[in-house]
Structure 1
Amino acid sequence: MSADRIETAAEAMEAEALPHAHVVHTDPDAKSTEDEPLPKSVTAKPQKAKSPAEWAYQRMVLYIKNFEEQLDDQHEIAMAFAGDASGVMRIEGMGYFDPDIITFYGTDPTGARTQLVQHVSQLSVMLRALPKGVAKEAPRRIGFRLVDDLDAQITVRSEPQKGS
């Protein structure tokens, strides 16, 4: 806000309700999650009304989607367990359990099914690009499905309930 503009009470309340983010890169043209406009599915419900799990889940969805948008057709998203020697998991699903649990579903490099259940206060994930499976025709993208799911949740919440 410039010094010569007076903010209305409504504008101040809206600015307070919206999440704030900031990023700086060595490459000024780098595409960053923090610089992208937030989808309606993230802003429809006030941040303060969300559980820590829901809020962490929504932001992870945005980071995953942004990371996948920068991958070529030969790579898929995976995550390494930051601060842990457990290895790498190809991300195939993600969820949350209120009030404070985030869950990642996937497979490790050997194809074994894996699941990470993590408390939001311990959330520390390194996103990685792994070569896609040899037998797969196209890389599988979870980020776009996650964003579609967020949008579908908004549609369901905004529709009138039967009997109302």
Structure 2
Amino acid sequence: MSDEIKTTAEAKEDAMLPRIRVTVADMESGPNIPLPPALAKKPVEQKSPAEWAYERLILYIKNFEEQLDAEHEIAMGFTGGDAGVVRIEGIGYFDPDIVTFYGSDPTGAKTQLIQHVTQLNVMLRALPKQVATEAPRRIGFRLEQELDKAEG
């Protein structure tokens, strides 16, 4: 608790700012998810559920990729079904409530998952790179750049 006195407007603004908290057993190698300034430019209450989910997914994807070695790429598994695993090659949203993942399955088949934000349930996974001589593809950094451009 703080003894700092705030105006009503300041208190309301603070209540609307996005916050994140992560605790893991090994904080040295665990996630570090800083909130980029672009995320706070538009108040949360002005974002659609799809836009807000999209922005937070970008943070999780970028953070997950930062923990991968050069031999692995990000993929996502589906919970509650036998749909398998998809390498994440893109992500988007369709206001007000749809999030879309673009990628390929382990056989190389092109895939697209279209999901309502209320059903969003994604497990991030590390898969070996597809091509041994190629550098791993990282989508998180590109997504964060797009987020900065959109909010700028």
TM-score per shorter chain, which class? Answer: over 0.9
Structure number with bigger Rg:
1
Equivalent residues in 2 for 1:61-100, closer than 5 Å: 61-100=58-97
How far apart are 1:7 and its partner, in Å? 2.8
1:79 and 1:93 map into 2 onto residues whose CA distance is: 12
Please report the TM-score for the alignment, with normalisation by the length of structure 2: 0.93
Moved more, 23-32 or 112-121: 23-32
Match for residue 44 of structure 1? 41
The residue aligned with 1:19 is 18
Aligned residues: 152
Distance in 2 (CA, whole Å) between partners of 1:30 and 1:13 is 35
1:117-146 Cα deviation digits (max 9, x unpaired): 000000000000000012551000010110
One-letter amino acid of the counterpart of residue 94, structure 1: I
Q: How does 1:106-121 map to 2 (within 5 A)?
A: 106-121=103-118
Cα distance, 1:113 vs structure 2:
0.4
How large is the RMSD of aligned CA atoms in angstroms?
1.5
Aligned pairs (5 A) from 1:123-138: 123-138=120-135
Q: Distance in 1 between matches of 2:27 and 2:134?
A: 34
| Unpaired segments ≥5 residues, structure 2 | none
Contact 2:24 2:30 in 1 (8 A): no
CA distances 1:68-114 after superposition (whole Å, capped 9, x unpaired): 00001100000001111100000001100000000000000000001
Question: Structure 1 122/136 Cα, relative in aligned 2: closer, same or farther at 3 Å?
Answer: farther
- Over 3 Å counting, the alpha-carbon distance change for 1:136 and 1:120 in structure 2 is farther
Counterpart in the other structure of 1:162:
none
TM-score by length of 1: 0.86
Of 142, 146, 152 in structure 2, the residue corresponding to residue 149 of structure 1 is 146
In the other structure, the counterpart of 1:32 is 31
Note the residue ranges of structure 1 that are not aligned, 5 or more in a row.
156-164
Offset of 1:30 from its aligned partner? 4.2
